[in-house]
């Protein structure tokens, strides 16, 4: 978490994400890249954000407004002492977020969520869902304000598939960095039921080469995966809940359709996603 990207639309939810990013940056000696996307036609501004003689009034207005809001945000006490790079880009939001992340070699993204009606109601529209699904680096989704986020207990829902160990490696890196207790959990449902014998077999292969000792493995039974994850997280009092994504192919295994949306909508806890 040395370079943390925080896209913002200057909403309350976006600021909640920025506050968490600030806590992480201070704790892990990182810096923040604060990004605002202006989804305007490219001919309204040049690539470096300076206005031109043929700019339309709308472009000038929104650029000035963005700079004003940046100034207000950078004066917030919670950002004191932090290195914050502010930038306004003229792109479609999703493309701009991905390009900025790669351009500055960001290793972590923190985004805000309203959590009302799924990813489509998250700030910058459905772009957050796209970022979560395609980002090569972990994405932390924040819905509520967390004045002092302590990550002592980390619940990660796994499908125990050996081919998904790439995500597990990232999970372990995150748990080690935060020095948190890792709770690996398989949600057993009627549709995805596995026996205890199968669980032991899958777990042995899944944890081959696993080198983190501060963890526990659990099997939690419920009617649905999303309900099981939320109830389990509450049971172990998880500070943060993790899931894995399959990139453009959608969310991994049972993490598909509305499950990720339900987690964001119904979980007061932060959700972190890792690319498989």
| Residue 53, CA distances (Å) to 7, 41, 42, 224, 243 in order | 29, 15, 14, 58, 48
Closest C-alpha to 66, from 46, 90, 38, 93:
38
Residue 256 has pLDDT above 50, yes or no: no
Closest C-alpha to 28, from 50, 3, 6, 59:
3
pLDDT the model gives residue 35: 92
For the stretch 163-186, pLDDT in tens is: 888 889 999 999 999 999 999 999
For the stretch 51-80, pLDDT in tens is: 444 456 776 777 788 888 889 999 999 999
- 156 φ, ψ (degrees, to nearest 5): -120, 120
**Alpha helices per DSSP H over 179-213:** 196-206
The stretch 44-50 carries a mean pLDDT of 49
% residues pLDDT > 70 (the chain): 79
Most confident listed range (120-129, 141-150, 212-221): 212-221
Where along the chain do the CATH 3.40.50.620 domains lie?
Answer: 3-142, 153-275
Q: Please give the DSSP secondary-structure letter assigned to residue 152.
A: -
pLDDT the model gives residue 123: 45
Quick check: helix, strand or coil at residue 75?
coil
**What is the C-alpha to C-alpha distance for residues 265 and 187, in angstroms, rounded to an integer?**
19
Mean pLDDT score of the chain, rounded to an integer?
83
The model's pTM: 0.86
pLDDT the model gives residue 118: 44
Please give the CATH number for the structural domain made up of 153-275: 3.40.50.620
The stretch 174-199 carries a mean pLDDT of 94
Superfamily of domain 3-142: HUPs (3.40.50.620)
């Amino acid at each position: 978490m040395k370079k943390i990207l925080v896209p913002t639309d200057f909403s309350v939810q976006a600021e909640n994400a920025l506050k968490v990013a600030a806590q992480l940056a201070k704790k892990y000696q990182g810096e923040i890249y604060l990004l605002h996307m202006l989804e305007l036609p490219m001919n309204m501004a040049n690539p470096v954000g300076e206005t031109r003689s043929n700019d339309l009034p709308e472009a000038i207005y929104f650029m000035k407004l963005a700079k004003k809001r940046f100034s207000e945000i950078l004066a917030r006490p919670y950002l004191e002492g932090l290195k914050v790079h502010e930038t306004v880009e003229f792109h479609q939001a999703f493309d701009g977020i991905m390009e900025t992340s790669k351009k500055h070699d960001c290793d972590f993204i923190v985004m805000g969520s309203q959590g009302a009606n799924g990813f489509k109601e998250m700030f910058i529209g459905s772009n957050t869902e796209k970022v979560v699904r395609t980002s090569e680096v972990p994405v932390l989704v924040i819905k509520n304000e967390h004045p002092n986020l302590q990550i002592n207990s980390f619940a990660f829902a796994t499908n125990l598939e050996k081919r998904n160990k790439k995500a597990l490696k990232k999970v372990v890196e995150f748990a080690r960095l935060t020095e948190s207790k890792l709770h690996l959990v398989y949600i057993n449902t009627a549709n995805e039921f596995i026996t205890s014998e199968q669980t032991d077999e899958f777990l042995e292969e899944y944890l081959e080469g696993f080198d983190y000792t501060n963890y526990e493995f659990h099997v939690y039974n419920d009617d649905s995966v999303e309900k099981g994850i939320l109830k389990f997280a509450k049971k172990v009092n998880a500070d943060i809940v993790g899931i894995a994504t399959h990139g453009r192919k959608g969310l991994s295994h049972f993490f598909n359709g509305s499950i990720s949306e339900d987690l964001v909508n119904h979980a007061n806890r932060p959700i972190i996603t890792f690319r498989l």
